[in-house]
Amino acid sequence: MSDTRDLVRQQFGTHARNYVDSHDHSKGESLDRMLALVDPQPHWRALDIATGGGHTALAFAPVVREVVATDLTTEMLAAAEQFIRGKGITNVSFRVADATALPFGDAEFDLVTCRVAPHHFPDCARFVREMARVLRPGGLAALVDNVVPEDVEAARFINAFEKRRDPSHNWAYTQSAWLRFFADAGLALRHAETFRKQRDFDYWTGMMSVDEKTKADLRRMLETMPVAAHAALRPEINPQGIKFYLTEILLIAQRG
Protein backbone atom coordinates (compact mmCIF):
# COMPACT_ATOMS: atom_id res chain seq x y z
CA MET A 1 0.00 0.00 0.00
CA SER A 2 1.12 3.56 -0.60
CA ASP A 3 2.19 6.04 2.07
CA THR A 4 -0.61 8.61 2.29
CA ARG A 5 0.46 10.41 5.47
CA ASP A 6 1.17 13.74 3.76
CA LEU A 7 -2.19 13.54 1.97
CA VAL A 8 -3.89 12.76 5.28
CA ARG A 9 -2.36 15.87 6.84
CA GLN A 10 -3.47 17.97 3.87
CA GLN A 11 -7.00 16.58 3.54
CA PHE A 12 -7.90 16.47 7.22
CA GLY A 13 -6.11 19.67 8.08
CA THR A 14 -8.31 21.45 5.56
CA HIS A 15 -11.55 19.70 6.59
CA ALA A 16 -11.00 19.24 10.33
CA ARG A 17 -14.16 21.06 11.39
CA ASN A 18 -16.27 18.90 9.08
CA TYR A 19 -15.27 15.84 11.09
CA VAL A 20 -16.07 17.47 14.41
CA ASP A 21 -19.54 18.27 13.08
CA SER A 22 -20.05 14.99 11.21
CA HIS A 23 -23.09 13.01 12.31
CA ASP A 24 -21.55 9.87 10.81
CA HIS A 25 -18.52 10.15 13.09
CA SER A 26 -20.15 11.56 16.21
CA LYS A 27 -22.90 8.97 16.51
CA GLY A 28 -23.66 5.51 15.28
CA GLU A 29 -24.40 1.99 16.30
CA SER A 30 -20.76 0.94 16.16
CA LEU A 31 -19.65 3.58 18.69
CA ASP A 32 -22.43 2.62 21.09
CA ARG A 33 -21.57 -1.06 20.71
CA MET A 34 -17.86 -0.43 21.22
CA LEU A 35 -18.54 1.38 24.48
CA ALA A 36 -20.91 -1.35 25.72
CA LEU A 37 -18.68 -4.29 24.77
CA VAL A 38 -15.49 -2.82 26.18
CA ASP A 39 -17.14 -2.22 29.57
CA PRO A 40 -14.55 0.44 30.56
CA GLN A 41 -13.44 0.67 34.16
CA PRO A 42 -12.94 3.89 36.20
CA HIS A 43 -9.23 3.26 36.85
CA TRP A 44 -8.32 2.68 33.20
CA ARG A 45 -5.93 4.79 31.14
CA ALA A 46 -7.10 4.81 27.51
CA LEU A 47 -5.48 5.77 24.21
CA ASP A 48 -7.57 6.90 21.23
CA ILE A 49 -5.58 6.66 18.00
CA ALA A 50 -6.45 8.95 15.06
CA THR A 51 -9.08 10.64 17.17
CA GLY A 52 -10.34 12.81 14.30
CA GLY A 53 -13.12 15.01 15.65
CA GLY A 54 -12.61 13.49 19.11
CA HIS A 55 -15.92 11.65 19.34
CA THR A 56 -14.55 8.31 20.56
CA ALA A 57 -12.34 10.00 23.15
CA LEU A 58 -15.35 11.99 24.31
CA ALA A 59 -17.49 8.85 24.64
CA PHE A 60 -14.93 7.08 26.86
CA ALA A 61 -13.72 10.05 28.91
CA PRO A 62 -16.57 10.02 31.48
CA VAL A 63 -16.05 6.34 32.32
CA VAL A 64 -12.24 6.03 32.58
CA ARG A 65 -9.52 7.78 34.57
CA GLU A 66 -7.74 9.31 31.57
CA VAL A 67 -7.85 9.38 27.76
CA VAL A 68 -4.90 10.32 25.59
CA ALA A 69 -6.23 11.41 22.19
CA THR A 70 -3.77 11.33 19.29
CA ASP A 71 -3.87 12.31 15.63
CA LEU A 72 -1.38 12.76 12.82
CA THR A 73 -2.89 16.12 11.84
CA THR A 74 -2.30 19.10 14.11
CA GLU A 75 -5.37 21.00 12.82
CA MET A 76 -7.59 18.00 13.48
CA LEU A 77 -6.17 17.56 16.97
CA ALA A 78 -6.75 21.25 17.75
CA ALA A 79 -10.35 21.00 16.55
CA ALA A 80 -10.92 17.89 18.67
CA GLU A 81 -9.43 19.60 21.73
CA GLN A 82 -11.65 22.65 21.29
CA PHE A 83 -14.69 20.39 20.87
CA ILE A 84 -13.96 18.20 23.91
CA ARG A 85 -12.94 21.08 26.17
CA GLY A 86 -16.18 22.79 25.15
CA LYS A 87 -18.04 19.84 26.63
CA GLY A 88 -16.39 20.46 30.01
CA ILE A 89 -14.20 17.35 29.81
CA THR A 90 -10.86 17.72 31.60
CA ASN A 91 -9.39 14.18 31.66
CA VAL A 92 -8.45 14.06 27.97
CA SER A 93 -4.96 15.08 26.82
CA PHE A 94 -3.91 15.57 23.21
CA ARG A 95 -0.77 14.54 21.36
CA VAL A 96 0.34 14.46 17.74
CA ALA A 97 1.22 10.87 16.86
CA ASP A 98 1.64 8.50 13.93
CA ALA A 99 -0.53 5.40 14.35
CA THR A 100 2.25 3.18 13.01
CA ALA A 101 4.94 4.56 15.35
CA LEU A 102 3.28 5.54 18.62
CA PRO A 103 5.34 7.78 20.94
CA PHE A 104 4.54 5.72 24.03
CA GLY A 105 6.31 3.04 26.00
CA ASP A 106 5.35 -0.60 26.16
CA ALA A 107 2.31 -1.58 28.24
CA GLU A 108 1.16 1.97 29.10
CA PHE A 109 -2.59 1.61 28.48
CA ASP A 110 -5.52 -0.50 29.63
CA LEU A 111 -7.50 0.28 26.47
CA VAL A 112 -6.59 1.36 22.95
CA THR A 113 -9.32 2.50 20.57
CA CYS A 114 -9.35 3.53 16.92
CA ARG A 115 -12.48 4.25 14.95
CA VAL A 116 -13.07 4.80 11.21
CA ALA A 117 -9.48 5.79 10.47
CA PRO A 118 -7.22 2.82 9.64
CA HIS A 119 -8.18 2.82 5.94
CA HIS A 120 -5.96 5.94 5.78
CA PHE A 121 -2.93 4.24 7.38
CA PRO A 122 0.01 3.13 5.21
CA ASP A 123 0.60 -0.11 7.16
CA CYS A 124 -2.30 -1.56 9.13
CA ALA A 125 -0.42 -4.66 10.22
CA ARG A 126 2.19 -2.43 11.86
CA PHE A 127 -0.56 -0.26 13.37
CA VAL A 128 -2.12 -3.31 15.05
CA ARG A 129 1.28 -4.36 16.38
CA GLU A 130 1.64 -0.88 17.87
CA MET A 131 -1.78 -1.21 19.52
CA ALA A 132 -0.66 -4.49 21.06
CA ARG A 133 2.71 -3.10 22.15
CA VAL A 134 1.31 -0.18 24.17
CA LEU A 135 -1.36 -2.34 25.84
CA ARG A 136 -0.84 -3.77 29.29
CA PRO A 137 -1.27 -7.56 29.63
CA GLY A 138 -5.01 -8.17 29.71
CA GLY A 139 -5.71 -4.80 28.10
CA LEU A 140 -8.24 -4.36 25.29
CA ALA A 141 -7.91 -3.16 21.72
CA ALA A 142 -11.16 -1.87 20.17
CA LEU A 143 -11.31 -1.02 16.48
CA VAL A 144 -13.96 0.11 14.01
CA ASP A 145 -13.22 0.59 10.32
CA ASN A 146 -14.68 0.20 6.87
CA VAL A 147 -14.32 -3.26 5.34
CA VAL A 148 -14.71 -4.54 1.81
CA PRO A 149 -15.95 -7.88 0.42
CA GLU A 150 -13.62 -10.85 0.12
CA ASP A 151 -14.22 -10.74 -3.65
CA VAL A 152 -11.03 -9.21 -5.11
CA GLU A 153 -12.72 -7.29 -7.93
CA ALA A 154 -15.27 -5.77 -5.55
CA ALA A 155 -12.57 -4.86 -3.01
CA ARG A 156 -10.48 -3.11 -5.65
CA PHE A 157 -13.48 -1.21 -7.00
CA ILE A 158 -14.68 0.02 -3.60
CA ASN A 159 -11.18 1.15 -2.67
CA ALA A 160 -10.84 2.99 -6.00
CA PHE A 161 -14.24 4.60 -5.41
CA GLU A 162 -13.19 5.78 -1.95
CA LYS A 163 -9.84 7.05 -3.19
CA ARG A 164 -11.44 8.99 -6.05
CA ARG A 165 -13.43 10.93 -3.46
CA ASP A 166 -10.56 11.25 -0.94
CA PRO A 167 -6.95 10.84 -2.17
CA SER A 168 -5.80 10.23 1.42
CA HIS A 169 -7.73 6.95 1.47
CA ASN A 170 -5.19 4.15 1.40
CA TRP A 171 -6.95 0.76 1.61
CA ALA A 172 -10.01 -0.72 3.30
CA TYR A 173 -9.33 -4.36 4.14
CA THR A 174 -11.47 -7.47 4.29
CA GLN A 175 -12.64 -8.97 7.57
CA SER A 176 -10.27 -11.91 7.11
CA ALA A 177 -7.31 -9.53 6.72
CA TRP A 178 -8.17 -7.72 9.95
CA LEU A 179 -8.48 -11.01 11.83
CA ARG A 180 -5.04 -11.98 10.54
CA PHE A 181 -3.52 -8.64 11.63
CA PHE A 182 -4.87 -9.12 15.14
CA ALA A 183 -3.76 -12.74 15.42
CA ASP A 184 -0.27 -11.95 14.12
CA ALA A 185 0.05 -9.18 16.74
CA GLY A 186 -0.78 -11.60 19.54
CA LEU A 187 -4.21 -10.14 20.25
CA ALA A 188 -6.90 -12.66 21.11
CA LEU A 189 -10.22 -11.85 19.48
CA ARG A 190 -13.11 -11.44 21.90
CA HIS A 191 -15.78 -10.06 19.60
CA ALA A 192 -16.39 -9.25 15.93
CA GLU A 193 -19.47 -7.87 14.19
CA THR A 194 -20.31 -5.79 11.15
CA PHE A 195 -22.67 -2.89 10.54
CA ARG A 196 -24.26 -1.52 7.40
CA LYS A 197 -24.28 2.27 7.19
CA GLN A 198 -26.17 4.31 4.62
CA ARG A 199 -24.35 7.22 2.97
CA ASP A 200 -25.91 10.22 1.28
CA PHE A 201 -23.80 10.91 -1.81
CA ASP A 202 -23.94 14.71 -1.62
CA TYR A 203 -23.09 14.78 2.08
CA TRP A 204 -20.33 12.20 1.63
CA THR A 205 -18.67 14.16 -1.17
CA GLY A 206 -19.27 17.47 0.59
CA MET A 207 -17.23 16.30 3.59
CA MET A 208 -14.14 16.58 1.37
CA SER A 209 -15.32 19.51 -0.80
CA VAL A 210 -15.29 17.32 -3.90
CA ASP A 211 -15.48 19.29 -7.17
CA GLU A 212 -18.17 18.72 -9.78
CA LYS A 213 -15.96 16.77 -12.18
CA THR A 214 -14.99 14.32 -9.46
CA LYS A 215 -18.62 14.00 -8.34
CA ALA A 216 -19.57 13.17 -11.93
CA ASP A 217 -16.81 10.52 -12.05
CA LEU A 218 -18.08 9.02 -8.81
CA ARG A 219 -21.65 8.91 -10.12
CA ARG A 220 -20.46 7.08 -13.25
CA MET A 221 -18.59 4.60 -11.07
CA LEU A 222 -21.78 3.84 -9.16
CA GLU A 223 -23.64 3.30 -12.42
CA THR A 224 -21.06 0.97 -13.99
CA MET A 225 -19.61 -0.99 -11.08
CA PRO A 226 -18.96 -4.76 -11.07
CA VAL A 227 -21.81 -6.99 -9.87
CA ALA A 228 -20.09 -7.96 -6.60
CA ALA A 229 -19.37 -4.31 -5.75
CA HIS A 230 -22.98 -3.41 -6.57
CA ALA A 231 -24.17 -6.06 -4.12
CA ALA A 232 -21.97 -4.50 -1.42
CA LEU A 233 -22.68 -0.80 -2.05
CA ARG A 234 -26.35 -1.24 -3.06
CA PRO A 235 -26.65 2.21 -4.68
CA GLU A 236 -30.04 3.90 -4.80
CA ILE A 237 -30.03 6.43 -7.66
CA ASN A 238 -33.11 8.56 -8.24
CA PRO A 239 -34.04 12.21 -8.97
CA GLN A 240 -34.12 12.99 -5.25
CA GLY A 241 -30.47 12.00 -4.81
CA ILE A 242 -28.07 9.10 -4.46
CA LYS A 243 -27.58 6.83 -1.47
CA PHE A 244 -25.32 3.83 -1.02
CA TYR A 245 -24.09 1.60 1.79
CA LEU A 246 -20.70 0.96 3.36
CA THR A 247 -19.82 -1.81 5.80
CA GLU A 248 -18.00 -1.31 9.11
CA ILE A 249 -16.39 -3.94 11.28
CA LEU A 250 -16.07 -3.77 15.06
CA LEU A 251 -13.31 -5.84 16.63
CA ILE A 252 -12.55 -6.23 20.33
CA ALA A 253 -9.38 -8.12 21.24
CA GLN A 254 -7.27 -8.72 24.33
CA ARG A 255 -3.54 -8.76 24.87
CA GLY A 256 -2.37 -11.92 26.57
Low-confidence ranges of the chain (pLDDT < 70): 1-27
CA atoms of 25 and 28, how far apart (whole Å): 7
Q: What are the Cα distances from residue 148, in Å, to 63, 178, 223, 235?
A: 32, 11, 19, 15
**pTM value?**
0.91
Burial (CB < 10 A; 0-12, 13-18, 19+), residue 169, is buried
Each residue's pLDDT tens digit, 13-53:
454 555 555 555 545 789 999 999 999 999 999 999 999 99
Q: Which domains occur in the chain, in start order?
A: 5-149+167-198+247-255 (3.40.50.150)
Burial label, 173 (beta-carbon count in 10 A; 0-12, 13-18, 19+): buried
pLDDT score for 29? 86
> Is residue 228 classed exposed, middle or buried when 0-12, 13-18 and 19+ CB atoms within 10 A define those classes?
middle
Contact 4, 72 (CB under 8 A): no
Predicted confidence at residue 224, as pLDDT, reads 94
Q: Tens digits of per-residue pLDDT, 114-145?
A: 999 999 999 999 999 999 999 999 999 999 99
Helix axes 175-184, 124-134, angle to 10 degrees: 40
